[in-house]
Structure 1
Amino acid sequence: MRNTQKGEYGVRPVIDIDEDDPLFVQAIGRAMQVLSAFHEAGRPLTLNEIAAIAGVGKSAAQRVVHTLRQLGFIERDADDRGYLPGIRILDFTRDYLRLNPLVSRASPVLLELRRSVRERVDLSLVDGLRLVYATRLQSKRETFFATLVGQSVPIYCTSGGRAVMAHLSDAEVDDVIARSDRREITPKTITDPERIWAKVHEARENGFALAVEEILLGEVAIATAVLAPDGRPLGAIHVAASLSEWDAETFCRRFAPLAVEAAGAINRLGTR
């Protein structure tokens, strides 16, 4: 069973072992709990820290860490201060990206969009109350976190999240808002349910969503949803830029039609 924990920008997945499921392999569950301990780590973790964050006993953590280290999925820090995820974790990232049909069909469309807008272009995928970036095509200036595939942001306060919510039922939107950890990530983050709903209505009317400085100060972002053949939102295309170069109105006028066109192209490819 997957649960969530608070992270820098919203929620991150953690693993809960379901002891009542006869098909659930508890040893694998514990291994994933241990790997999940690194989600919000800002430095190498000691064995005691891994055990505490993962919610497992020190003896169990030691056995799991040893096994994962032997397999290359955990390694010692170069200065021997603790443990870090191992390089073989990247094999799974590659497998996911190359075998995900949405990422595959979206890639050429995103590359063309990036050439047209010359600003950052992202593709995010829905995972519970968050969006996870699966593709990140950079602009001329970025912070480190903005370059990372796998970085996640909450749905409730992001352009991509509002684009996704615009394609949900009213009851589903209410549920997302109610279950979200609606905290201020920046002083501009909208957390009030009525104001979030106003942004969702705006996205439904315009066909794209807008967020200004709600995740990162100085950033403006627009997004439009990518959909399954049945109309369910799978994720979103984002275009983001600096407010030092664009005001929100001009940015929307210039780039929203291109983002909407790109999402439409991806959606049409998914029905073939």
Structure 2
Amino acid sequence: MTTEAAPREGAAVPVAEAAERRIKSAKRTLEVLEFFAVTHRPATVMEVARALGYPQSSTSVLLGGLTRLGYLEFDAAARSYRPTLRVLLLGAWQQEALFGDTHLLRLLEELRRRSGFAVLLGMRQQAHVQYILTLRSPRGMVPQEQRAGLLKPLCRAAVGLALLLGLPDADVARLARRANAEERDPSLRVSIPALLDELAEGRARGWVESSGRVVPGASVIAMPLPALRGHPPLAVGLGGRQEVVRRARAEMIAALRATCEALARAQK
């Protein structure tokens, strides 16, 4: 029987392994920045590590590195970190190019303030929807399962369904078959005829709702955003506890429509 020899000390790391390590490091860096985008407050190493599921030692090294690069600042008295203006400047050019004086983040913050619900902004990643921004609210807290950067089922999450509203049925069916093939739990696979019926109703009224299909007890109402120059399609949702959403549905829909109309005016 042969055994694989251990790498010699000082031997070069295989190319694929080295690439995987770099990808993992980049992913963790972005998740740290997204963590601050969601929480809107300084955080200690332990708080970041616990929220993201990282080892405390590597989290400390990562936060220290981002501080040396100028993306975070460290408060020695509170032992906490927070983003600097360098993070804000990373995307400032795109905000100006897309919206001029009407900044998307400002509108979404206003949507959260007016509605009192959590705000979810997502875009399609193959057969999934990825939340690229989540804004918490005291009334409709965003659970850990819905933090920015996570992938959710395209054909069950409301923000994903909103992204499907603009696609032909043939494309929707193709994506649904792919999503079903990737879903390990047969009970979570979607009926394609039922999905197409739901989307037809959603196109007629302009919005869709998840009704607890992704996070039990929580519901999200979502709409597609107006087309943005040079950017993939986006959809926005408002979410909270199911019973609260049921009572406030009309107000939530009105708030979402007002935000979409403001973005449409900014594109003219």
Task: Provide TM-score, normalisation by structure 1.
Answer: 0.61
- Identify the residue that residue 20 of structure 2 maps to in structure 1: 33
1:220-231 matched pairs, under 5 angstroms: 220-228=219-227
- Pick the aligned partner of 1:118 from 92, 116, 119: 116
- Identify the residue that residue 204 of structure 1 maps to in structure 2: 203
**Greater Rg over alpha carbons, structure:** 2
Distance in 2 (alpha carbons) for counterparts of 1:186 and 1:220: 22
Native 8 Å contact 1:190 1:196 kept in 2: no
Native 8 Å contact 1:121 1:240 kept in 2: yes
Structure 1 residues 136 and 113, CA gap change in structure 2 (3 angstroms): same
Native 8 Å contact 1:168 1:233 kept in 2: no
Structure 1 residues 84 and 151, CA gap change in structure 2 (3 angstroms): farther
Structure 1 residues 190 and 230, CA gap change in structure 2 (3 angstroms): farther
Distance in 2 (alpha carbons) for counterparts of 1:130 and 1:172: 14
- Identify the residue that residue 144 of structure 2 maps to in structure 1: 144
Residue 32 of structure 1, CA deviation:
4.7
1:115-194 matched pairs, under 5 angstroms: 115-140=113-138, 141-146=141-146, 148-181=147-180, 183=183, 191-194=190-193
Native 8 Å contact 1:227 1:233 kept in 2: no
CA deviation string 1:214-266 (max 9, x = no partner): 1100011110011325899611111001024342xx33322112112212222
Structure 1 residues 93 and 134, CA gap change in structure 2 (3 angstroms): farther
**Greater share of helix residues, 1 or 2?**
2
Does 1:262 pair with 2:249?
no
Residue 130 of structure 1, CA deviation:
2.1
Native 8 Å contact 1:136 1:149 kept in 2: yes
SS of equivalent to 2:148:
coil
Q: Match for 2:21: what amino acid?
A: V
Native 8 Å contact 1:208 1:260 kept in 2: no
- Pick the aligned partner of 2:248 from 245, 251, 260: 251
Q: Which one is further off, 169-178 or 29-38?
A: 29-38
Distance in 2 (alpha carbons) for counterparts of 1:185 and 1:122: 25
**Greater share of strand residues, 1 or 2?**
1
Task: Provide TM-score, normalisation by structure 2.
Answer: 0.62
Q: For structure 1, which runs of at least 5 residues remain unmatched after alignment?
A: 1-25, 42-75
Equivalent residues, number = 205
Q: For structure 2, which runs of at least 5 residues remain unmatched after alignment?
A: 1-13, 29-53, 72-85
Q: Match for 2:259: what amino acid?
A: A
Superposed CA RMSD in Å reads 3.9
Structure 1 residues 203 and 97, CA gap change in structure 2 (3 angstroms): farther
CA deviation string 1:108-139 (max 9, x = no partner): 11111111110101211222222222221112
Does 1:215 pair with 2:214?
yes
